[in-house]
Amino acid sequence: MKRYISLILAAFMAVSLTACQTASGLFHNNLSPESSTQVSEVGEDDVRVGFIFPYGSDSPDTISHVAAIRRMQQAVGLSDSQIDIVRNVSSKDYADQIEKLISQGCDLIFAKKSDAENAMIEAAKNHPEVEFCQEDGRKAEDSGLSNMHNFYVRLYQGYYAAGVAAGVKLNSMLNEGKIYSETCVAGFAAASENPENISSINAFTLGVRRVCYQARVLVRYVGKVGDYDADGECARQLIAAGAHLMCQRVFTNAVAVVCAENDIPVVGNETNIIDVAPSEAITSVTADWSVYYEYAVSCLLNGKEIDTDWCAGYKENAVVLSQFNDAHLAEGTIEKVVEVEQELRSGRAKVYDTTTFTVNGETLENLVKSDSAFKKFKKLVANGEFKESRNSSAPKMNFLIDGVQLADENYLPEEETTEEGEETSQAEQ
């Protein structure tokens, strides 16, 4: 996968930006090609790997992870019989599922949701011969267990790049008179309020404002994870509150479907949403989990230690944008996105450049000195940047920057009663 992306990037840089715009679907496609390298199969007695996912087979998140598992298999030579995938696992069932995978002979177990971490740590204590890898975990280092590992990706980098694409789209809507400075609003639908989502929201906002300084971002938390109806209602409420473009970090396709119904441009997550919103999709922010899966499994096969805490981003191709919707791209999108992606891959990009935002009207440099709630971030604020995922893979950001507003119950339009007695929101009038 790394070789494939590198080859495409080299070819991409060899042609003009005009040509790149027509070929953008290839450059940003994170689907794995057929490998041209012959990989030796790993004997079934050598290793067996288990995966635990909280969502069903139709969840974009599960689809993304399973595709990454298949890419890892191809890269290291595992057969299907050496892979165990368990879906739809609730928090109360993690311990039982982990023990079941161990009884089936798994040497390495990955868990998707941080709710599983306590059960994973307990199993790691009881089974030192098995390796445990917790996505978005925070306790591996403190556990003192050599077979317990945390991993995550710098997802915020993808949301920053997607924000740039969204900002170009908002600029085009401004130029066409479809929206005005006071109505230049993007919505962000997030499943819940946590550092992973807050980090993504802030990065998206900064990406948008890099090219469209007038833009504001309205955020609404669904309050549920993987609930199709709740995700759709969240999107409808943001549109009613004035959003003319949408970004999401949810675990169903409901937001994209609602945007398609309302002619609202949308940035997806986890999987390509062009088939769901063919005229409205811009791109999607995706993590290529195969980068970590391949790393961890290769460590196991080669007798090497797996990092206690692992994190990667654009530079390692662990975070990418999915295929752009060429038929509906705003002019100049590819040029701007290529510019920021080059910065991200080279390490030159400061996503959270502290000169570009404030929090409650103050700079982060001032807040870490004067506000007790921000002092814990002192080591993360250096050289004019908030260095997210610097000393741990899991994001730490728990504050929204100025320019982001919560579209809570008090913000949403009040419902009025028509002459016929039917309730209608102001946005529908």
What digits encode the pLDDT tens for the residues 245-288?
999 999 999 999 999 999 999 999 999 999 999 999 999 999 99
Q: Which pLDDT score, from 0 to 100, does residue 418 have?
A: 41
pLDDT at residue 39 in the model: 52
- pLDDT above 50: residue 38: no
Instruction: Report which secondary-structure segment, H or E, holds 50.
Output: strand 49-52
Within a domain: 220: no
Q: Measured on CA atoms in the order 194, 199, 200, 204, is the torsion positive or negative? A: positive
What is the rounded CA–CA span in Å between residue 31 and residue 322? Answer: 9
Give 6's pLDDT tier (boundaries 50, 70, 90). very low
Q: Output the DSSP codes for 300-331.
A: HHTTPPPPSEEEE-GGGTSEEE----GGGPPT
pLDDT above 90: residue 19: no
In a domain? residue 70: yes
Q: What is the mean pLDDT of residues 154-179?
A: 97
Q: Are 253 and 273 in contact (CB under 8 A)?
A: yes
Burial of 178 per CB tally in 10 Å (0-12, 13-18, 19+): exposed
Give the number of other Cβ atoms within 10 Å of residue 34's Cβ: 6
Map residue 368 onto helix, strand or coil: helix
Cβ burial of 404 (10 Å; 0-12, 13-18, 19+) is buried
Average pLDDT, integer, range 122-128: 98
Residues pairing with 405 in the sheet: 218
pLDDT above 70 (res 27): no
Provide the CATH number for the domain around residue 69.
3.40.50.2300
pLDDT for 46: 79
Residue 86 lies in a domain: yes
Residue 9 has pLDDT above 50, yes or no: no
Task: Assess if residue 362 is contained within a domain.
Answer: no
Indicate the pLDDT class of residue 114, thresholds 50, 70 and 90.
Answer: confident
Mean pLDDT, residues 48-74: 94
Is 310 part of any domain?
yes
Among candidate residues 138, 259, 285, 277, the one with its CA nearest the CA of residue 201 = 285
Question: Percentage of the chain with pLDDT > 70?
Answer: 85
Residue 42 predicted with pLDDT over 70: no
Mean pLDDT within 289-305 = 97
Question: Per this entry, what is the length of the chain?
Answer: 429
Which residue reads 């913000």 in tokens?
Answer: 411
Is residue 111 predicted with pLDDT exceeding 80? yes
425 pLDDT tier (thresholds 50, 70, 90): very low
Q: Look at the chain and report how many structural domains it folds into.
A: 1
- Average confidence score pLDDT of the chain: 87
pTM of the model: 0.87
Q: Report if residue 128 sits inside a domain.
A: yes
Which of the 8 DSSP states describes residue 163? H
Q: Residue 293 CB: number of other CB atoms within 10 A?
A: 25
| 403: DSSP letter | T
Residue 415 confidence (pLDDT): 52
Q: CA dihedral defined by 400, 366, 343, 284, rounded to 10 degrees? A: 0
Answer yes or no: is 225 within a domain. Answer: no
DSSP, res 290: H
Q: 136: domain range?
A: 2-154+288-320
Spatial separation of the C-alpha atoms in residues 158 and 53, rounded to whole Å: 23
Whether the pLDDT of residue 37 is over 70: the answer is no
In a domain, 305, yes or no: yes
* pLDDT > 60? residue 122: yes
Q: Would you state the pLDDT for residue 7?
A: 34
pLDDT of residue 327: 81
Query: Nearest Cα to 78, choosing from 56, 106, 115?
Result: 106
